[in-house]
With several copies, the nearest count.
Chain A
Amino acid sequence: MTEEVQTQETPEVIPESTPLATLHAVARVKGEAVTQIPHDLYIPPDALQVFLETFEGPLDFLLYLIRAQNLDILDIPVARITHQYLEYIDLMQRLNFDLAAEYLLMAAWLGEIKSRYLLPRQINAEGEDEGDPRAELIRRLQEYERFKRAAEHLEGMPCEGRDFFVAVAQQPDFSRVTPPPHVELSELLLALQDVLRRADLYESHHISRETLSMRERMSNILERIRPGGFVPFVTLFNVEEGRLGVVVSFMAVLELVKEGLIDLVQTHERADIHVRARVGEAQGQALDLGQDLGEDDIEQEGAFDDA
């Protein structure tokens, strides 16, 4: 096909300048015989190229032939339409156009309808009338035509980006707020249940033997002992907590000593006992996570679920 033809967009309606419009010259009032089609049907070769671009397949083309002659879709003179249709197909084949298979299929179907129409009405084995051989063609033409109309209507409807635009104004300055996730205690416990089940720690009483209040006390004591500093042993106890509180504190201190987290220091006999955090002298850091928080691995677990 030529460049010229390529640029032809399939138009919504067939332009009057299309040589196919010559068909209007042979249009006849309904019922009047039209016989001189072949010589009126001259179509310049260029127009045939347009032809292929203009129609959306054989149904569209048939509709055009019918409408061009002001014929009623329900009363198609099959012989005449078939004849016209085949003229075009034949012409295009002689000009070596690659015709879509659908056009040839339609030609075959029209031929079949025409031949059946010439024969007496068939009655099948069950005694039923096979009906008008044109009925299926008419149904399909009608069905196609209603969507052809719907498409035309759709094209006429205002469309965003073409006929109107969504209005937008510059948004005011704002800071993006991301509320931190909320966690229920039950969620936390379920997570713990999972990890314990995995670690199979139900049996070993490794963790559960220690009371939580002692663990909490251990953290509190560690907190109070600044790295490198001394804290008098007695200040770790609060008598107002009563006997149990004192016991818990004492056990916490022992546990901390056992875990090597603190030292108990007594400079001489009967002197006050002091508590000291075990700290390397050069590294009195409390929050330097450098050593602990190493390089991230690629496959590490994230803090958030990708929801």
Chain B
Amino acid sequence: MTPETLKSIVEGALFAAGRALTIEQLQALFEEPVRPDAGSLRAVLSTIAIEHEDRAVQLQQVASGWRFQVRADVAPWVSRLWDERPQRYSRALLETLSLIAYKQPITRSEIEDIRGVTVSTQIVKTLLEREWIRVAGHKEVPGRPALFATTRQFLDDFNLKSLAELPALADIRDLSEIAAELETASHE
């Protein structure tokens, strides 16, 4: 198989799939004797990525693998294809989602403790329906509340390969440090 053929197959498969494909899924397209190793596939993916750098569609690596996606700067026009305007999510939803992303696994009441307000059932439902969060288990306390965690879909939808790519949270100064500072301040 020529490198050109290999490239065409990988490119064709990624476009036909319409979703991210892993190296393993790409390897499975080939019969045993001609199956490319992971290294060759990564090289092919790099070549494809470079060739699409200036195009409307770009190769992107996300949590579930590699996929082609339409460049963000044409989104305002492209989104007119659909009648529904892309949603803007409420601050309540985004704060809840952030808490789940950074502090997972986390219960609803733990989220409420930090936000200082009740988390509406609607928000949790929307996040579950969007498949951005899932119930990862139950906390062994009375009532066995659900523990929420983010999903691979969440990472994919935000162009992330892993949670580690989320920006670091702002520093929080711990109590003793705060107390010490306050102490100092009050003596000035």
> Which residues does A use to contact B, with CB under 8 Å?
9-12, 56-60, 74-75, 100, 102, 106, 131-132, 134-136, 138-140, 142-155, 157-196, 198-199, 201-202, 205, 207-208, 211-213, 215-216, 218-219, 222-223, 225, 227, 259-261, 277-280, 283, 285-287, 289, 291-297, 300-305, 307
A-B contact count (CB 8 A): 402
A8 to B44, CA, bound (A): 41
A209: min CB distance to chain B, Å: 9
Having A102-B116, A167-B16, A174-B82, one finds 11 other A-B pairs with CB under 8 Å, namely: A135-B179, A154-B97, A163-B72, A164-B71, A169-B12, A169-B69, A171-B78, A188-B97, A227-B137, A301-B119, A301-B123
Complex CA distance for A160 and B63, rounded to whole angstroms: 13
CB contacts (< 8 Å) of B79 on chain A: these are 162, 165, 171-172, 174-177
Given contacts A57-B117, A169-B18, A223-B136, contact A212 B164 (CB under 8 A): yes
Question: In the complex, what's the smallest C-beta–C-beta distance from B86 to chain A, in angstroms?
Answer: 4
For the complex of A and B, 7 pairs with smallest distance between CB atoms: A174-B79, A168-B18, A57-B117, A172-B75, A191-B94, A219-B149, A186-B179
* In the complex, chain A residues whose CB is within 8 Å of the CB of B171: 146
Residues of B near A207 (CB, < 8 A) are 102-103, 169
Q: Which residue of A lies closest to B167 (CB)?
A: A153
Q: How far is the CB of A220 from chain B (nearest CB, A)?
A: 8
Residues of B within 8 A of A (CB): 12, 15-19, 57, 60, 67-72, 74-75, 78-79, 81-95, 97-99, 101-105, 107-108, 114-127, 130, 134-141, 143-147, 149-150, 156-160, 162-164, 166-173, 175, 178-179, 181-183, 185
* Complex interface: chain B residues within 8 A of A169 (CB): 12, 15-16, 18, 57, 67-70
Given contacts A174-B75, A208-B169, whether A303 and B97 have CB atoms under 8 Å apart is: no
Residues of A within 8 A of B92 (CB): 10, 56, 301-303
- Tell me the minimal C-beta distance from A87 to chain B in angstroms: 19
Q: How far is the CA of A126 from the CA of B105 in the complex (A)?
A: 36
B98 and A192 within 8 A (CB): yes
For the complex, would chain A's binding face be called helix, strand, loop or mixed by DSSP majority? loop
Known A159-B157, A301-B90; contact A195-B19, beta-carbon cutoff 8 A: no
- Contact residues in B for A148 (Cβ distance below 8 Å): 91, 95
Q: Compute how far the CA of A227 lies from the CA of B171 in the bound complex, rounded to whole angstroms.
A: 36
Q: A134-B182, A174-B75, A307-B85 are in contact. Are A56 and B70 (CB under 8 A)?
A: no
Contacts of A143 in B (CB 8 A): 114, 172
| Cross-chain contact A188 with B149 (CB below 8 angstroms) | no
Which residues of A lie under 8 Å from residue B17 when comparing CB positions?
A: 168
CB distance from A75 to the nearest CB of B (A): 6
Across the interface, B86 reaches (CB within 8 A) one of A153, A180, A205, A278, namely A180
Q: Closest A residue to B127 by CB, please name it.
A: A303
Kindly report which residue of chain B lies nearest to residue A12, judged by CB atoms: B91
- B-side contacts of A151, CB under 8 Å: 91, 94-95, 97-98
Q: Does B130 lie within 8 Å of A215, measured CB to CB?
A: no
Closest-CB distance, A201 to chain B (whole angstroms): 7
Is there contact, CB below 8 Å, between A303 and B178? no
Least Cβ distance of A95 to chain B in Å? 21
Question: Do A166 and B67 have beta carbons less than 8 Å apart?
Answer: yes
A173 touches B75 (CB 8 A): yes
- A136's nearest neighbour on chain B, judged by CB, is B175
Instruction: Find A147's partner among B87, B98, B125 (CB 8 Å cutoff).
Output: B98
Q: Is A192's CB under 8 angstroms from B84's CB?
A: no
Report chain A residues within 8 Å CB of B144. 280, 283, 291
**Chain B residues with CB under 8 A of A279:** 138, 140
